[in-house]
């Protein structure tokens, strides 16, 4: 198993632990799509308390990658994902965050 496979296995375990209900397939595809960023400690996670980071998620992922244009819907979905992953959870892995956000916005088909 390579480093990426190890990360995917870790994210799948975390998904089950948090009870997020994401498919292993979606987690794998989102992780592959993130490329080398999953191997950097700082970019591997998302901070829900940092508004600038959430704005980046909104612009670069929800709008550009997923093609969602409704800003209010994106903001509501991001808030819901932050709550689903737990405010006390320090490891909001970007792959899981993005997969859950895609699911929340009904855009899993982007990874089909």
Give CA angle at 69 (67, 75), nearest 5°. 105
pLDDT at 104: 97
pTM equals: 0.95
Token pair in block for residue 79: 């808030």
Q: Options 2.40.70.10, 1.10.238.120, 3.90.10.10, 3.40.1280.10; which CATH number does 3-111 get?
A: 1.10.238.120
Q: Within a 10 A sphere around the Cβ of 32, how many other Cβ atoms?
A: 13
For 92, the 3-state DSSP assignment is coil
Q: What are phi and psi of 91, to 5 degrees?
A: -110, 75
Tell me the mean pLDDT in the region 83-91.
90
Residue with token string 């699911």? 103
**Residue 91 in contact with residue 46, Cβ under 8 Å?**
no
pLDDT at 87: 84
What confidence tens digit (pLDDT) does each residue in 9-47 have?
A: 999 999 999 999 999 999 999 999 999 999 998 899 999
Q: Where are the domains of the chain?
A: 3-111
pLDDT class for 91, splitting at 50, 70, 90?
confident
pLDDT class for 79, splitting at 50, 70, 90?
very high
pLDDT class for 64, splitting at 50, 70, 90?
very high
Q: Within a 10 A sphere around the Cβ of 101, how many other Cβ atoms?
A: 26
């Amino acid at each position: 198993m390579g480093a990426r496979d190890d990360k995917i296995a870790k994210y799948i375990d975390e998904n089950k632990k948090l009870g997020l209900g994401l498919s292993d397939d979606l987690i794998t595809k989102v992780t592959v799509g993130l490329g080398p960023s999953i191997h950097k400690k700082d970019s591997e996670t998302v901070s829900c308390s940092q508004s600038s980071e959430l704005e980046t998620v909104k612009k670069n992922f929800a709008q550009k990658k997923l093609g969602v244009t409704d800003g209010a819907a994106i903001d509501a979905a991001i808030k819901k994902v932050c709550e689903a992953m737990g405010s006390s959870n320090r490891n909001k892995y970007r792959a899981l965050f993005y997969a859950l956000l895609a699911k929340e916005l009904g855009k899993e088909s982007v990874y089909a």
